[in-house]
Amino acid sequence: MGRLGGFTYRDIVRRLKLFGFSFHRQAAGSHEIWYNDQTKRFTTIPNHSGDMPEGTLRAILKQAGIEANDFLEKK
């Protein structure tokens, strides 16, 4: 498991809120669209139980324009 492994949906959402993201709308199935007013960026987050796969979290952070180190430092 890499540095970005072991995060749940709740952990990710809590940290994204610290970066200024807020829930925008429900997407297909269990996916949610989150938006940051300051950066004008969207990101899609699957609302699944259990840990988020590391590759999925990396894709979320890439869409959001957040570096992995910055994400890990926010608590």
Nearest CA to 18 among 36, 43, 45?
36
Pick among 3.40.980.10, 3.30.920.30, 3.40.50.10490, 3.20.20.70: CATH of 9-69: 3.30.920.30
> According to the model, what pLDDT value does residue 32 have?
97
> According to the model, what pLDDT value does residue 75 have?
79
Q: What is the pLDDT of residues 17-62, one digit of tens each?
A: 999 999 999 999 999 999 999 999 999 999 999 999 999 999 999 9
Q: Which one is predicted more confidently, 2 or 50?
A: 50
What's the whole-model pTM score? 0.92
> According to the model, what pLDDT value does residue 1 have?
64
Beta carbons within 10 angstroms of residue 19's beta carbon: 19
The length of the chain is 75
Residue 14, pLDDT above cutoff 80 = yes
Where do the domains of the chain lie?
9-69
Which token pair is 8? 């749940």
- Between the two ends of the chain, the Cα-to-Cα distance in Å is 20
CA distance 32 to 75: 22
